[in-house]
Amino acid sequence: MQDLKEVIKELKPGMTIRVYQKIKELNTKGEEKERVQYFEGIIIAKKHGSEAGGTITVRKVSDGIGVEKIFPLNLPTITKIEIKKEATVRRAKLSFLKKKGYKRKLKERVVKKS
């Protein structure tokens, strides 16, 4: 399995990824529980590379509603990032995917499974 820092360097717009994140919750008794939740979607922007303030914007459509989440790459709650698919894109920012009329699929490349 690859190290998280190596995976972060590979990330590019157009990739479909799954980001696993630790979440702390309070149950009915007031006890704190920790669980891992994932967010799967396509990267529409990567900003500031792999430096300290670097972020990725991940977008998915859930029940017909577009949901975007911005993940700081050095967030300590991120446990792992899985690359699911990779698409060939010509832009650094894929904001055109937000448009309602955009129905075309991105051309996918084969991803090496590790």
Q: Which amino acid is located at 78 in the chain?
A: I
Question: Measured between alpha carbons, how far is residue 41 from residues 4, 33, 68, 110 in Å?
Answer: 18, 26, 9, 17
Tens of pLDDT, residue by residue over 4-49, are: 888 888 999 999 999 999 999 998 888 999 999 999 999 999 999 8
- pTM score of the predicted model: 0.86
- Cα 51 from chain centre: 17
Q: What is the pLDDT confidence band of residue 52, given thresholds at 50, 70 and 90?
A: confident
4: phi then psi, degrees, rounded to nearest 5: -60, -40
- In the chain, the domains with their CATH numbers are 4-90 (2.30.30.790)
